[in-house]
Amino acid sequence: MGKTDKKDYSEYAVVMEKIVKRFPGVLANDHVDLFVKKGEIHAIVGENGAGKTTLMNQLYGLLNSDSGKIYINGEEVKIKNPNDAIKAKIGMVHQHFMLVDRLSVVENIVLGMEPVYGPFFARDKARKQISELSQKFGLFVEPDAIIEDLPVGIQQRVEIIKVLYRGAEILILDEPTAVLTPQETDELFKILGALKAQGKTIIFITHKLHEVMAITDSVTVMQLGKVTGVVKTSDTNPRALARMMVGREVLLRVEKGEAKIGKKILRVENLHVNENRGLEAVKGLDFSVNQGEIVGIAGVAGNGQTELIEAITGLRKVEEGQVIFKGIDATNFSPKRRRDMGMGHIPEDRLKHGLVAAFPLYYNFILGKHDDPRFCDGEFLKISDIKKFSNALVKRFDVRPPLINLLGANLSGGNQQKVIVAREFSFNPDFMAISQPTRGLDIGAIEFIHKSIISMRDQGVGVLLVSMELEEIFSLSDRILVMYEGQIMGEVTPQETTTEEVGLMMAGHKLEDLRAQEA
């Protein structure tokens, strides 16, 4: 090896060279090259399962490459585990949070690097350091809250503070905005801007192309384990990026016809529900959903939407009021009974409720209907029928890789979501409670799922849709209810309202007050 071979990568914070990573049956990274300049915000985009997370996990030492090299600030480094990565000042916020549910915010953030007085944990010191950090970057969190009591949006903030606490100079954010509201996303972008201004380098994975356009400097596009394009953000546009990612034209907006409204299928009366800590989260809601319509619930995360959906689907106790399903008072029915009556549910947290990660896909595909005669004969599971059914779903919903023996945990985030959506759709429900259906999905998959939701509606299914994505609410809903602090601020239709008006309601203004002001 002559000296001339030595490459000069000194202008790059991160270079990954010819990275190969193979999983059983899948080539997740096929000679991937990634170049990230110092101080820039670099986007990685690509379809679900393209290998983005896998690539970043190698940079962070969670996975070891089969081959390839990594250079940090021009120097070749070997990153065998996250400790090596932290030493190289790399921090990562994962697509699925890696927090200890039972510990408090402070404990999670300092975990492994606790400030101490001699042998004792210096809780007050930790708390002070953290409140300084959160003030500096505008990331407010309640330091003593227990993680499992916090909504996903807040857990995300904890993750970001955790990385900053470890002194990261290079931040990897794997789909950070998938769980944030538009407002929170704006906040995050401000923070990222501030971090960039301080010279930090940021690698940002997202499926939302407008975000790529808004804050990044350059983009690497991946498809099926390979890099298919590297462009400067200023030289491209969402349409072109979409084409590079999917290899075809994508509809960025769904088309839908008039709703054919049928009978009332779900009615909620004076509903009161508590959150985990026993505080009231849903404060006396009244509304109904009819067959053949999509009712969207807009709101900032943590305003009672999670509790509302859990109460409707039977996962959470109703304190007061009623859930009437198909004319029957189902308030105290078990989740099973509601399912058997024709209620489907796409849950907000796919790894907590939606999947058994340690089950193979074919088991996950029947979760909730495992005792249906299609899948079991008396006490015995019809394994070969279940596999046939699963294979059909994998094909129809384009789950990648299409291997039904794979464990749920081994799918990429977007493909896990496809499994859940596929399952719930396949059960032919009459009513469907849907929470964040496209969180973490690529644009092609979003298009597919939006079309599927609309076709369900057209077949007469009543849909209750909770989403933090205003765009999703606007493009799918026939009616929109806006929730704020457990109450409904107003009901509007997408035609007669504006995002501004809904945004104001989400911030706690009642519709009647807004309309009165206008008049």
Partner 1 sequence: MNGLKKFYMNDKIVVPVFAVITSLFIAAIVMIMIGKNPLMAYGALIFGAFGTKGALINNLMKTTPLILTGLSVGLGFRAGLFNIGANGQLIIGALLSTYVGSKMIAYPFYLSIPLMLVTGMIGGALWAAIAGWLKVARGAHEVITTIMLNYIAVFIANYVVNGPFQAPGGVPKSPEIAYSARLPILATSGATWLSAGIFVALAAVVVVYILVEKTKLGYEVKAVGFNPYAAEYGGISIGKNVVMAMAISGALAGLAGTMQVMGVYYRYLGALGGSMGFDGITIALIGQNDPIGIAFAAFLISSIRAGSNQMQIAGVSKNIVIIIQGIIIFLVAANRLVKTFMFWKRKEVEGA
Ligand X SMILES: Nc1ncnc2c1ncn2[C@@H]1O[C@H](COP(=O)(O)OP(=O)(O)OP(=O)(O)O)[C@@H](O)[C@H]1O
Provide the binding-site residues for partner 1, judged by CB under 8 A: 24-25, 64, 313, 315, 334-340, 345, 347, 352-359, 363, 367-368, 370-371, 376, 379-381, 383, 403, 405-406
Q: Which of 15, 41, 45, 54 binds ligand X (CB under 6 A)?
A: 54
Q: Which of 16, 43, 48, 404 binds ligand X (CB under 6 A)?
A: 48
Residues 6+ apart with CB under 8 A from 64: 58, 80
One character per residue 71-110, x = contact with ligand X (rule: CB under 6 A): ------------------------x---------------
- The nearest distance, CB 413 to Mg ion, in angstroms, is 5
Q: Which of 390, 412, 426, 436 binds ligand X (CB under 6 A)?
A: 412
Structure tokens at 363: 């088991």
What does the buried/exposed string (b/e) look like for 195-215 if buried means 16 or more CB atoms within 10 Å of the residue's CB? Answer: bbeeebbbbbbbbbbebbbeb
Instruction: Decide if residue 415 touches ligand X (CB under 6 A).
Output: yes
Q: 420-459: which residues touch ligand X (CB under 6 A)?
A: 442
Rounded Cα distance between 120 and 117, Å, is: 5
Q: Which is nearer to partner 1, 230 or 367 (CB)?
A: 367
- The nearest distance, CB 416 to partner 1, in angstroms, is 12
Instruction: Decide if residue 46 touches ligand X (CB under 6 A).
Output: yes
| C-alpha dihedral, 197 to 202 to 204 to 210, nearest 10° | 20
**381 and 468 in contact (C-beta within 8 Å)?**
no
| Residue 427 interacts with, from partner 1, ligand X, Mg ion, none (CB under 5-8 Å by kind) | none
Q: Which of 15, 16, 19, 50 binds ligand X (CB under 6 A)?
A: 50
Rounded Cα distance between 280 and 340, Å, is: 29
Rounded Cα distance between 508 and 199, Å, is: 37
Q: Which is nearer to partner 1, 145 or 376 (CB)?
A: 376
Structure tokens at 76: 């070749």
Q: Which is nearer to ligand X, 54 or 306 (CB)?
A: 54
Q: Which is nearer to Mg ion, 205 or 289 (CB)?
A: 205
Instruction: Decide if residue 411 touches ligand X (CB under 6 A).
Output: yes
Rounded Cα distance between 92 and 59, Å, is: 9
Instruction: Decide if residue 401 touches ligand X (CB under 6 A).
Output: yes
Looking at residue 10, its amino acid is S
Q: Which is nearer to ligand X, 302 or 414 (CB)?
A: 414
Q: Which of 61, 292, 354, 413 binds ligand X (CB under 6 A)?
A: 413
Taking the CA atoms of 49, 53, 58 and 62 in sequence, report the sign of the dihedral they define: negative
- The nearest distance, CB 63 to ligand X, in angstroms, is 8
| Residue 486 interacts with, from partner 1, ligand X, Mg ion, none (CB under 5-8 Å by kind) | none
| Residue 65 interacts with, from partner 1, Mg ion, ligand X, none (CB under 5-8 Å by kind) | none
Q: Which is nearer to partner 1, 2 or 378 (CB)?
A: 378
Contacts 24+ apart (CB under 8 A), 112-119: 113/165, 113/166
Alpha helices (runs of H) in 20-122, residue ranges in sequence order? 52-59, 82-87, 105-110
> Of the ranges 49-57, 120-128, 185-193, 351-359, which one interacts with ligand X (CB under 6 A)?
49-57
Structure tokens at 320: 């007061």
Q: Which is nearer to partner 1, 355 or 470 (CB)?
A: 355
Q: Which is nearer to Mg ion, 168 or 441 (CB)?
A: 441
**462 and 290 in contact (C-beta within 8 Å)?**
yes
Q: Which is nearer to ligand X, 51 or 61 (CB)?
A: 51
- The nearest distance, CB 258 to partner 1, in angstroms, is 34
Structure tokens at 283: 């404060």
Instruction: Decide if residue 291 touches ligand X (CB under 6 A).
Output: no
Neighbours of 24 (CB within 10 A): 9
| Residue 415 interacts with, from ligand X, partner 1, Mg ion, none (CB under 5-8 Å by kind) | ligand X
Q: Which is nearer to partner 1, 408 or 444 (CB)?
A: 408
Alpha helices (runs of H) in 103-237, residue ranges in sequence order? 105-110, 123-137, 152-165, 182-197, 209-215
CA-based nearest residue to 153, from 509, 469, 514: 469
Instruction: Decide if residue 331 touches ligand X (CB under 6 A).
Output: no
Q: In what order do the strands lie in the sheet with 343-346?
A: 343-346, 431-435, 462-466, 294-298, 479-484, 487-492
Contacting residues toward ligand X, per CB under 6 A: 23-24, 26, 28, 46, 48-54, 95, 400-401, 410-415, 442
